[in-house]
Amino acid sequence: MFAKKITNPVETAKQAAADYQACYGDNLVTIILYGSACSREFNPVKSDINLLIVLKEASLEMMEKAGPVLKKWAKFRVQQPLIMDMKYISHSLDTFPIEFLNMRFLYMVLAGEDFLKDLNLEKKYIRLQLERELKGKRLRLAMEWISVKNKPELVQNLVRVSLNDFAAVFRALLFLKGVEIPAKKADIFTETGKAYALEDRPFKRILEALGSNNRKEIVLAFPAYASAIVRLEEIIDQENEKETV
């Protein structure tokens, strides 16, 4: 059974990290806390605690060693950590640069080295992943809406998850423009609107409805929200076409 409330996610993460550190010993390179647990937007009741564990060798056998620790901390909403080694990371920067960019945006080193600050994230790879992510998430959003549009509670959950997903993409969009990435989610959507000449009112409306738990308004605001994502996709396509000319 999950803990009802996590009042100090950093302290919880530090305690979990100590167990992982004991588990991996000399094979450990670093343990990093990333995501909302490092910010004021952490929800004590709903948010999860996310860890990245980097090992010298991340074999299947090594990953399996984390099983007992994983089970112990799951009830405190410490999610299954991402476990990898530096070889995997160096070979993934051209494939998953947005994930590493978002980790680097909000993180805290709990043990070992701070390798994130020196990662070379190339804009050309971010741009390629952005196009895939934006198109894929937009299509998935539309398909899931068709399934849940008559169920306000499910629409609310769909919107909550999709806003988190798109916030990660929008951070990358701001990075490409050289715009400072805001800490607050609402400001991320506002700044993206400014940077890409996109009307941000649909995002503000649905964020306000979500914040006030107004399910009826969330349903009413959804079509404009989805249309804004489509419009952003068109803007990105146009920019990419100009760059290839």
CATH of the domain at 55: 3.30.460.10
**What is the domain extent for residue 70?**
9-118
**Are residues 32 and 129 part of one domain?**
no
Indicate whether 234 belongs to any domain: yes
Number of domains in the chain: 2
- What does the CA dihedral 194, 197, 203, 208 come to, rounded to 10 degrees? 40
Indicate whether 2 belongs to any domain: no
Indicate whether 168 belongs to any domain: yes
What local confidence, expressed as pLDDT, does residue 1 receive? 46
**Are residues 155 and 77 part of one domain?**
no
What local confidence, expressed as pLDDT, does residue 3 receive? 55
What local confidence, expressed as pLDDT, does residue 241 receive? 80
**Are residues 222 and 173 part of one domain?**
yes
Token pair, residue 23, equals 């588990």
What is this structure's pTM? 0.88
Looking up tokens 């741009």, which residue turns up?
127
Indicate whether 3 belongs to any domain: no
**Are residues 235 and 141 part of one domain?**
yes
Indicate whether 142 belongs to any domain: yes
Out of 91, 118, 145, pick the residue that ends a domain. 118
**Are residues 162 and 219 part of one domain?**
yes
Indicate whether 202 belongs to any domain: yes
Q: How far is 25 from 18, CA to CA, in rounded Å?
A: 10
**Are residues 156 and 67 part of one domain?**
no
Mean pLDDT of the chain: 94
Out of 103, 118, 133, pick the residue that ends a domain. 118
Looking up tokens 């494939």, which residue turns up?
95
**Are residues 20 and 71 part of one domain?**
yes
Indicate whether 63 belongs to any domain: yes
**Are residues 105 and 76 part of one domain?**
yes
Indicate whether 1 belongs to any domain: no
**Are residues 155 and 236 part of one domain?**
yes
Token pair, residue 208, equals 């306000």
Closest of 197, 163, 169 to residue 181, by C-alpha: 169
Q: Which residues of the chain have pLDDT under 70?
A: 1-4, 244-245
**Are residues 234 and 127 part of one domain?**
yes
What local confidence, expressed as pLDDT, does residue 240 receive? 79
**Are residues 104 and 164 part of one domain?**
no
**Are residues 97 and 184 part of one domain?**
no
Out of 101, 118, 135, pick the residue that ends a domain. 118
Q: What are phi and psi of 44, to 5 degrees?
A: -60, -20
